[in-house]
Amino acid sequence: MELYELNLRSAAEGLKGKKFSAVELFDACLARAEACEPHVAALITKTAEQGRQQARESDERRAKGETAGSLEGLPVILKDNLCTQGVRTTAASKILGDWRPPYDATAWALLKKAGAVLLGKANMDEFAMGGSCEKSAFGPTHNPHDLTCVPGGSSGGSAASTAAAYVPFALGSDTGGSIRQPAAYCGVYGFKPTYGMVSRYGLISYGSSLDQIGPFARTVEDLHLVMSILSQYDPMDSSCFREKTYDFTPCKDGLKGKKVALVKEFQEFTLDAPIADAMTRTRKVIEDAGAEIVEVGLPVIAKYAVACYYALAMSEAHTNLERYDGVRYGYTVSDAKGIKEMFEEVRTAGFGAEVKRRIIAGTCLTEPTRSDEYYVAATKVRTLIAQEFAKAFGGADFILQPASPTLAPKIGESDVDKMKEYEADLYTLPVNLAGLPGLSFFTGYAESGLPVGLQLIGPRWSDADLLNAGLVLEERLGSPKIACALEGTKGGL
Amino acid sequence: MAEELNFTPVIGIEIHIRLKTATKIFCGCSTNTEAAPNTNVCPVCMGLPGSLPRLNIAVVQKGMLAGMALHCTPRQKSLFYRKSYFYPDLPKGHQITQSDLPIMAEGYIEVHDSEGKLKKIRVNHLHVEEDVGSLRHSAADGRLEGAATSFVDYNRSGMPLAEIVSEPDMSSAQEAVEYAMTLQRRVRYAGASEADLDRGMMRFDANVSLKCSDGRWGNRVEVKNMNSFHALEKAIEYEIKRQKKILLQNGEVLRETRHWNDAKGVTTASRAKEFYRKFIVEPDLPPLMIPQEWIDKVAGQMPEMPDEKANRYVKDWNVPQEVADVLTDDRALAEYFEACVAAGAAPVRAANWVRTEVLRVLNEKQISIGDFPIRPEVLAELVKRVDDRRLSTTQGKEVFDHMVEKNCALDEAVKDLGITEGGVGGDALTGTIQAVLQANPDVVEEIKSGKDTKGKKMKFLQGLVMKETKGQARPQEVAEALTKALS
């Protein structure tokens, strides 16, 4: 077994047992990344120098017997909307240019404090706006299971690089499904924590009230480990708070005696056949594990969640993106006639088409004469959605549903019908509207070789319970294999 | 015909004051205004990608104190909003402010109308918000348009402001100025703001319209850029005159924003088009929920306000109203006076000393009471000594001036000036009296034999003793001691 193939726990144990050094692990991962990158293009920036230096320091610490924490010497890839001090951070946009943040995002600072070393910054849809990782100023990322397919998005680079074993784990962000959908497309586990569980400080905002940082890994247990590090209260983020401290110690009784609900309204919607099959199989597995399958109704969500989500996300996004004016950092022009022209030229050239579309939509939705009808109405619908979920969780511990109605689409296919593209997020975005945790888990492979993922969601702050349920699902459904399109099995390589 | 028309000005004011906190409203940067450009900045007040605001609760406390000083009511729940517009001094492209549900609701300020009667000017609300950076342009007119180079300093970005919005209840420039001055005094008293105009800590915008006796009502004009009471008064007067002229010619007052040009003394239509402003709820700050106990705690920090203080001086201490008004104009001065009283000085005497002597020195030296060299307990002691006639009034003033000049202790000043306190008294006085009696045996004999029926001889001896003591003996003590010596 190659070092890069190790999952997080095995790699941690190997380092602890001094079977290999952090530098050896880092170099193996970097070599794997370099071999795959020409085909997968999951990274915007590789941090070979800094990362190897961090790995060296980790080895030195370990030699002295003073390990930093439970991620000592373990390489990670961060989505490129997480600020890394001194390391270029782009949010996959031209408008940020060569910006090097003067500070670390709290999530990265916590990983670093626990000993993690940075291998690179992952590609994404520009400012996390998209579900395919094609809308990046740096070009598309390819699905490592089939290079002609998208990895999903917006955290496509994080999902693809975890699936292809550049690293044992990566961080992404999820505003409407941006962790869970690419995890499903790439055949890895992806976790979107409860809103407020992980500090957003240093995450470049898209929809502030919806954004949440979370991990990707190739086992559920590894998600437990990363969450135990990330779930810290942070005074730098006013939406980060605690009802209590949360214990992310894995527990294998996660489904016994639980009620798992299927959503009545969703059953009328069409799913790709492999996903429908996976739903049936998983339902059976859940029952076998000692849980009861029940049904809940989410009529408001089925009907209004998509419109509500896009109204709010775009309204917040357009104000979050007002700061990119070329005055202080990033892309700018030097020959504009006046300040107004400067703003116009910078923003016209700096933003991609999808970002502009959402800025314009957000501007219209909050325009004083329309605001009540759209923006304000959406805030009210959001309250109804949260109430509907709360009611549903009165009669169920978890809800089982797809992470996407389709398997990973071909590159270039998903941008054809805008409304259809937005509607594909129906299974993921209600979770963000209500601030719930959601786990995207692997169920197996379709005949095409593409992975099939599903989603389990729980009430707010049930994060640990959800991951424990995920452990049972992984045990019964099987763990994913490392994506190997490169070895010529799929996609013509 | 036109001359017979009457115009009633309708004036409302928006006042921004800088709240007095050690750090900015949404980050931990210092509010020190002396720092070199762009040194009191961090990712938050620079609006860097990924940074998030976090509310400094001290700003809420100071905003609440300012509002309470204006009789406003605190809200237990309030919200923050994003107000969007593009300008280089606004690093996020939106300002975090309040709109619906500001921290403080309805209040009022009392001013005198043209007949000298008290009139309540209603305060609509007080809200807290962040200040923007400051710009400097290379263009001759100091404006952004046409400037070859512009500099931005973000030290001011994120400074805590309170905006206080009045109802349009004022009807003259004088009322507006009194409103602004009273507001300044009261927020200073509350310790909420230094409200120092020279340092840009208090700025005015006025809304002016005219109601005509023929039923016409002119459009409202917003006048911006007034940074002094004088400018506020002149700008409103100018605007009233300008609008009156338009209405007299049956013209229409345009609804617009005008800029006060202090140098030329005119208002000009703003060149910049009205910004297109949108508001959304600030998603990075949860609704601010303030427990009643916290509000009560802040209310407990509210000091006595100037009017109430002056009334107390008059009622409890018999200080003349006019003196009480002067003493309470500045909270620090009032506190100085009260400290004198607390140290045992008689209130009316202390009031007069502070009113005349202390204020004279402050004016002469152009210093504030905080820098005044004589501590209130020391002044109280001086006042007491004059009251006890250990020092004459003239001597007291000499000692006072000496202490101010030399910054020395009371006893040291007395010594430096060669004053024997209480004149010559006790053993020294007995000695002097004995010497005088021995030098004048005839007079002593006359008095002892009861011939000094009119007391003339006694007066003569008293005069001699006073002369011997260079006037430093207290006449009554001399008289008593002489009587005793001769009996």
- Indicate the residue of B88, B93, B283 with minimum beta-carbon distance to A208: B283
What is the Cα–Cα distance from B319 to B313, expressed in whole angstroms?
5
Give the model's pLDDT for residue B423. Answer: 59
Q: How many helices (H) and strands (E) does chain A have?
A: 15, 11
Could you tell me if B204 and B229 are in contact, meaning their C-beta atoms sit under 8 angstroms apart?
A: no
- pLDDT of A72 strictly over 70: yes
Which whole number is the average pLDDT over A181-187?
Answer: 98
Alpha-carbon distance values, A371 to A362, A368, B3, B8, B277 (Å)? 10, 5, 47, 37, 12
Task: Report the pLDDT value the prediction gives residue A161, as an integer from 0 to 100.
Answer: 98
| Helix/strand/coil (H/E/C) assignment for every residue in A431-442 | HHHCCCCEEEEE
In this structure, the strands spanning B77-78 and B266-269 are unpaired
pLDDT given at position B1: 47
Q: Work out the pLDDT band at B272, boundaries 50, 70, 90.
A: low
Whether residue A319 and residue B93 make contact (CB cut-off 8 A), yes or no, is: yes
Could you tell me which residues come within 8 angstroms of residue B361 by beta carbon, excluding any fewer than 6 positions away? B367, B372, B404
Q: How confident is the model at residue B335 (pLDDT cuts 50, 70, 90)?
A: very high
Q: How far apart (Å, rounded) are the C-alpha atoms in residues A59 and A75?
A: 13
Shortest Cα distance from B352 to chain A (angstroms)? Answer: 53
Pick the residue with more confidence: A491 or B5?
B5
Residue B389, exposed/middle/buried by CB under 10 A (0-12, 13-18, 19+)?
middle
* Sign (positive or negative) of CA dihedral B438, B440, B445, B448: negative
DSSP single-letter state for residue A131: S
pLDDT at B140 over 70: no
Contact between B15 and B193 (Cβ < 8 Å): no
DSSP for A446-476, please give it.
Answer: -TTS-EEEEEEE-STT-HHHHHHHHHHHHHH
Residue-wise DSSP of B101-156: S-SEEEEEEEEE-TTS-EEEEEEEEEEEEE---EEEE-STTS-STT-S-EEEETTS
The answer on pLDDT for B126 being more than 80 is yes
What average pLDDT does the segment A30-47 reach?
Answer: 96
Q: How confident is the model at residue B427 (pLDDT cuts 50, 70, 90)?
A: low
**CA pair distance B128, B480, nearest whole angstrom:** 70
Chain A residues lying within 8 Å of B279, measured CB to CB:
366, 371
Is position A79 annotated as part of the catalytic site? Answer: yes
Return phi, psi of residue A439, to 5°.
-110, 125
Say if B84 is an interface residue toward chain A (CB within 8 Å): yes
Calculate mean pLDDT across residues A17-40.
96
Which residues, 6 or more positions from A84, have their beta carbon under 8 angstroms from its beta carbon?
Answer: A47, A78, A101, A104, A105, A108, A118, A121
Tokens of A338: 């006046």
The first and second tokens of residue B304, run together, are 């006595």
Q: DSSP secondary-structure letter at A330?
A: S
Tell me, what amino acid is at A204? I
Asked if residue B391 has pLDDT above 60, the reply is yes
Residue B272 contacts A where some CB pair is shorter than 8 Å: no
Interface subset of B 138-197, CB within 8 angstroms of A:
144-145, 150, 152
Contact residues on chain B for A325, CB-CB shorter than 8 A: 86, 88, 93
Spatial separation of the C-alpha atoms in residues B265 and A72, rounded to whole Å: 69
Contact between B50 and A82 using a beta-carbon 8 Å cutoff: yes
Chain Cα centroid distance, residue B427 = 51
Lowest-confidence range among A95-104, B200-209, B379-388, B417-426? B417-426
CA of A136 vs chain B CAs: smallest distance (Å): 18
- pLDDT of A87 higher than 90: yes
In terms of Cα–Cα distance, which of A117, A115, A58 is closest to A84? Answer: A117
In the set A46, A58, A79, A199, the catalytic residue is A79
Which residue type occupies B233? E
Q: Which residue among the candidates A21, A93, A161, A178 is catalytic per the annotation? A: A178
Alpha carbon B320 to its chain's center: 20
Look at residue A487 in the predicted model and tell me its pLDDT: 56
Contact criterion met (CB < 8 Å) for B91 and A322: no
Contacts of A105 in chain B (CB under 8 A): 50
d(CA B374, CA B249): 62
- Of all residues in chain A, what percent carry a pLDDT higher than 70? 98
Q: Encoding tokens for residue B173?
A: 């420039």
Rounded CA separation A217/A467 (Å): 12
**Is B215 an 8 Å CB contact of chain A?**
no
Contact A323 B88 (CB under 8 A): no
- Minimal CA–CA distance to A266: which of A307, A298, A308? A298
Mean predicted confidence (pLDDT) in B253-278: 81
B222 alpha-carbon distance from chain centroid: 27
Taking residues B146-160, what's their average pLDDT?
90
Does the pLDDT value for residue A488 go beyond 50?
no
In this prediction, residue A312 carries a pLDDT of: 97
Instruction: Extract the tokens encoding A114.
Output: 């626990």
CA distance B194 to B17: 8
Q: Identify the pLDDT of residue B275.
A: 52
Contacts of A27 (CB under 8 A, 6+ apart): A52
Q: A179 near A425, Cβ under 8 Å?
A: no
Q: B464: pLDDT confidence band, cut at 50, 70 and 90?
A: confident
- For residue A337, the chain B residues in CB contact (below 8 A) are none
Average pLDDT over residues A314-328: 97
Amino acid sitting at position A185: Y
Q: Is there a catalytic annotation at residue A158?
A: no
Of B50, B53, B280, the CB nearest to A315: B280
Helix H, strand E, coil C: the string for A378-398 is HHHHHHHHHHHHHHHCCCCCE
Confidence band for B337, pLDDT divided at 50, 70 and 90:
very high
Residues 6 or more apart in contact with residue B393 via CB below 8 angstroms: B386
Q: What is the pLDDT of residues A109-119, one digit of tens each?
A: 999 999 999 99
Strands A438-445 and A451-457, bridge-based pairing: antiparallel
Would you say residue A490 has pLDDT above 80? no
Better-predicted residue by pLDDT, A319 or B438: A319
B340 inside 8 A of chain A by CB: no
Distances (CA, A) of A287 to A281, A392, A472, B2: 10, 19, 11, 92
Judge whether A234 is closer than 8 Å to chain B, CB to CB: no
User: Would you state the structure tokens that stand for residue A299, as one six-digit string?
Assistant: 């009529």
- Please state the rounded mean pLDDT for residues B145-162: 89
Of A82, A205, A367, the CB nearest to B278: A367
Question: Which domains, from first to last, does chain A contain?
Answer: 3-254+439-487 (3.90.1300.10)
The reply to whether A435 touches chain B by the CB within 8 Å rule is no
Of A83, A366, A368, the CB nearest to B49: A83
Q: Output A202 or B412, whichever has higher pLDDT.
A: A202
User: Is A316 in the B-facing interface, judged by CB distances under 8 Å?
Assistant: yes
Look at residue A489 and tell me whether its pLDDT is greater than 70: no
A83 with A112: CB under 8 angstroms? Answer: no
Task: Summarize the confidence of residues A245-261 as an average pLDDT.
Answer: 94
Nearest to A83 among B50, B55, B86 (CB): B50
On average, the pLDDT of chain A sits at: 95
pLDDT above 50 for B199: yes
Among A296, A284, A317, CA closest to A209: A317
Q: Give the integer Cα–Cα distance in Å for A160 and B254.
A: 61
Minimal CA–CA distance to A318: which of A272, A366, A286, A283? Answer: A366
Q: Which of A93, A132, A154, A161 is catalytic?
A: A154
pLDDT bucket at B276, cuts 50 / 70 / 90: low
Calculate mean pLDDT across residues B275-293: 88
Confidence of residue B457 (pLDDT cuts 50, 70, 90): confident
* Count of residues in chain A: 493
| Domains present along chain B, CATH in parentheses | 2-292 (no CATH), 304-416 (no CATH), 426-486 (1.10.10.410)
Q: What is the mean pLDDT of residues A321-341?
A: 94
Using alpha carbons only, give the angle A268, A272, A274 rounded to the nearest 5 degrees: 120
Q: Which residues pair with B39 in a beta bridge?
A: none
Which residues in chain A touch residue B53, judged by CB atoms under 8 angstroms apart? 238
By percentage, how much of chain B surpasses pLDDT 90? 70
Residue B392 in tokens: 């004459």
Tell me the pTM.
Answer: 0.88
Shortest distance, CA A474 to any CA of chain B (angstroms): 34
What confidence category does residue A492 fall into, taking pLDDT thresholds of 50, 70 and 90?
Answer: very low
How high is the pLDDT of residue B2? 47
Nearest residue in chain B measured CA to CA from A203? B50
Q: Which helix (H) or strand (E) holds A190?
A: strand A189-192
Min mean pLDDT across A85-94, A283-292, A409-418 is at: A409-418
Q: What is the DSSP string of B19-47?
A: ---SB-SSSS-B--SSSPTT-S--TTTTT
Q: Nearest CA of chain B to the CA of A106: how many Å?
A: 10
Residues B283, A101: C-beta atoms closer than 8 Å: no
Determine the 3-state secondary structure of B278 from DSSP. coil
Decide if pLDDT at A456 tops 80: yes
Greatest alpha-carbon span in chain A: 70
User: Known catalytic residue: A154?
Assistant: yes
What letter represents residue A278's amino acid? A
With contacts defined as CB-CB under 8 Å, which chain A residues touch B100? none
What confidence category does residue B324 fall into, taking pLDDT thresholds of 50, 70 and 90? very high
CB B151 within 8 A of CB B128: no
pLDDT in tens, B13-60: 999 999 999 999 999 999 998 899 999 999 999 999 999 999 999 999
- Work out the minimum CA distance from A400 to partner chain B, whole angstroms: 29
Nearest to A393, CA basis, from A263, A288, A267 = A263
Beta carbons of A366 and B278 less than 8 Å apart: yes
Which positions in chain B touch A371 (Cβ < 8 Å)?
278-279
What pLDDT sits at residue A438? 98
Is the pLDDT confidence value at A419 over 90? no
pLDDT at A491 over 50: no
- List CB contacts of B237: < 8 A, sequence separation 6 or more: B173
- The CB density around residue B341, as the number of other CB atoms within 10 Å, is 21
